[in-house]
């Protein structure tokens, strides 16, 4: 399960670097791609803007299958106040850009599962795959626009995998 | 409409007065916990398997008090921390940071009496354009039973 979650995050991160290298976040003294897993970072009062914030919120296991197929719900939240240069009046356009980027990041919707615990990372036997994103309605909080997209990620548990 | 363009020289007077008041109210020291820089390009850091290190920056004098609790389910206790601006500014200079917003944003919390409290909000009180006091709203960790 952890391998699938890590693989999904690293895949989206690497695709974001290729798609929009300017979407970055300055976090703990370094600049890195603008996507993070919320539970892997320090607790903050509110999520950062202009980056993708991933949360693993659901888990489902079908007991009628011969192999263990896990379905994990991943929530991807993103928000923006626009740019200060445009006095925030481009916040709608910036959110639309993030919508489009997320759709691009999720294609293709399958990738080789990888174990990132050892260094270098080790490719595993199976692949993970995921559904189309389900986009929730826009949420407006003063000058901040935000949206949450949900993706179901599927992964077969391999022998010995935790 | 007129604009007041008169020159008002900032002085350390308000800061000294604030420090004296904080000490009179039982001024104490708290620790601002700052994570040290992450390792650039490390997958382990981003996957939550790294071991982050941190440093504690002492700030004093400060006054720490509990805010009136809001009686709602799931609410954590909130606290107010008043910190001397002189103490905060001294750290800004040492760390070569541009603003206190940056300093508080970098912090993982304030360490008070063995508990790490999350910074929920920060505001400043100023006189003649010069802050003399910082007011932080802190939230207790969920596992704390007070």
Give the per-residue pLDDT at A130.
97
Measured at the alpha carbon of residue A98, what is the angle toward residues A108 and A17, in degrees to the nearest 5?
Answer: 60
Span A35-55, average pLDDT:
90
- The full length of chain A comes to 162
Span A42-54, average pLDDT:
88
Given the structure tokens 């897993």, which residue do they identify? A37
Buried b (16+ CB within 10 A) or exposed e, B14-26: bbeebbebbeeee
Nearest to A28 among B37, B47, B48 (CB): B37
Question: What's the rounded Cα separation, in Å, for the pair B86 and B97?
Answer: 15
Question: What's the rounded Cα separation, in Å, for the pair B34 and B56?
Answer: 6
Residue (of A105, A51, A41, A104) closest to A78 by Cα position:
A51
Give the per-residue pLDDT at A146.
96
Backbone angles phi, psi at A145, to 5 degrees: -105, 135
* Domains located in chain A, CATH noted: 2-156 (3.30.2000.30)
- The full length of chain B comes to 146
Percentage with pLDDT > 70 across chain A: 99
Residues forming a β-bridge with B126: B131
Give the per-residue pLDDT at B146.
44
A111: tokens are 């990738």
Q: Is A79 helix (H, G, I), strand (E, B) or coil?
A: strand
Reply yes or no on whether the pLDDT at A154 is more than 90.
yes
Q: Does B37 touch chain A (CB under 8 A)?
A: yes
Give the per-residue pLDDT at A29.
78
Span A14-34, average pLDDT:
92
Q: Is A35 helix (H, G, I), strand (E, B) or coil?
A: strand
CA distance A82 to chain B (A): 20
Reply yes or no on whether the pLDDT at A47 is more than 80.
yes
pLDDT in tens, A77-116: 999 999 988 898 999 999 999 999 999 999 999 999 999 9
The residue ranges of chain B whose pLDDT is under 50 are 145-146
Question: What's the rounded Cα separation, in Å, for the pair A74 and A116?
Answer: 19
**List of chain A residues whose C-beta atoms are within 8 Å of the C-beta of residue B35:** 28-29, 42
Q: Which of residues 38-67 of B touch A (CB under 8 A)?
A: 38-40, 43-49, 52
Question: What's the rounded Cα separation, in Å, for the pair A65 and A90?
Answer: 48
Give pTM, 2 decimals: 0.78
Give the per-residue pLDDT at B143.
61
Span A131-157, average pLDDT:
95
Reply yes or no on whether the pLDDT at A66 is more than 50.
yes
Average pLDDT of chain A to the nearest whole number:
92
Question: What's the rounded Cα separation, in Å, for the pair A46 and B92?
Answer: 23
Residues of A with CB under 8 A from a CB of B: 6, 9-10, 13, 27-30, 32, 36-37, 39-43, 45, 116-117, 119, 121
Q: Does B120 touch chain A (CB under 8 A)?
A: yes
């Amino acid at each position: 399960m952890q391998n699938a979650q890590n693989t999904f995050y690293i895949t989206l991160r690497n695709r974001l670097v290729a798609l929009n290298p300017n979407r970055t976040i300055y976090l703990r003294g370094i600049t890195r791609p603008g996507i993070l897993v919320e539970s892997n970072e320090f607790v903050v009062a509110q999520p950062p803007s202009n980056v993708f914030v991933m949360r693993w919120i659901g888990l489902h296991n079908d007991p009628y299958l011969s192999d263990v197929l896990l379905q994990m719900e991943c929530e991807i939240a993103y928000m923006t106040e626009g740019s200060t240069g445009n006095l925030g009046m481009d916040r709608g356009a910036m959110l639309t850009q993030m919508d489009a980027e997320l759709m691009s990041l999720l294609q293709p919707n399958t990738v080789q599962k990888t174990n990132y615990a050892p260094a270098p990372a080790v490719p595993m036997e199976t692949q993970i795959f995921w559904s189309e994103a389900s986009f929730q309605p826009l949420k407006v909080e003063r000058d901040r626009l935000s949206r949450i997209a949900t993706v179901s990620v599927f992964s077969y548990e391999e022998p010995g995998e935790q | 409409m007129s604009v007041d363009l008169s020159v008002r020289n900032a002085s350390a007077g308000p800061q000294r007065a604030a420090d004296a008041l904080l000490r009179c109210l039982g001024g104490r020291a708290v620790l601002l916990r700052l994570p040290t820089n992450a390792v650039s390009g490390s997958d382990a850091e981003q996957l939550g398997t790294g071991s982050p290190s941190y440093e504690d920056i002492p700030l004093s004098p400060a006054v720490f008090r509990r805010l009136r609790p809001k009686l709602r389910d799931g609410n954590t206790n909130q606290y107010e921390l008043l910190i001397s601006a002189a103490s905060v500014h001294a750290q800004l200079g040492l760390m070569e940071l541009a603003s206190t917003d940056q300093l508080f944003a970098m912090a993982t919390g304030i360490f008070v009496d063995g508990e790490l409290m999350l910074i929920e909000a920060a505001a400043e009180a100023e006189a003649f354009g010069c802050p003399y006091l910082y007011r932080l709203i802190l939230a207790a960790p969920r596992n704390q039973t007070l």
